[in-house]
Amino acid sequence: MLWTCRAFVGRDGRSLMSIVYFTLAAVALYLLSDWILERVEVAAGRRFQYRSLVFFSILLTLAVTSFALISHLTGTTDGG
């Protein structure tokens, strides 16, 4: 197990934790996007015709914002 983890750890040792942060954020954002879409549909009183497109728009907006923030906070803005 130790030798496989070394492949993910960069010179500073932060790469493995960055993978964990991004994965946890992705799961949380998926659930949050679904919840937001449900609330908007309840407020509108109907199901949207292009529901998957609205969901994707919500998820994309949240993902770009939060992943940029995670990259900035963890210092992994160089792309790996």
Q: pLDDT digit string (tens) for 23-32?
A: 999 999 999 9
* Average pLDDT rounded to a whole number, residues 20-44: 95
Q: Is residue 80 part of a domain?
A: no
Quote the pLDDT of residue 15.
72
Mind listing the pLDDT tens digit for each residue in 48-70?
999 999 999 999 999 999 999 98
Question: Number of structural domains, the chain?
Answer: 1
Quote the pLDDT of residue 70.
87
Using pLDDT thresholds of 50, 70 and 90, give the confidence band for residue 8: low
Angle between helix 51-74 and helix 15-44 axes, rounded to 10 deg: 150
Question: What is the number of other CB atoms lying within 10 angstroms of the CB of residue 76?
Answer: 19
Does the pTM surpass 0.85? The reply is no
**42: exposed, middle or buried (Cβ count in 10 Å: 0-12, 13-18, 19+):** exposed
| Structural domain boundaries, residue 45 | 2-74
Residues with Cβ within 8 Å of 37's Cβ and at least 6 positions away in sequence, in order, are 48, 51, 54, 55, 58
User: Which two structure tokens, joined as six digits, stand for 32?
Assistant: 């949050």
Q: Is residue 79 part of a domain?
A: no
Q: Is residue 38 part of a domain?
A: yes
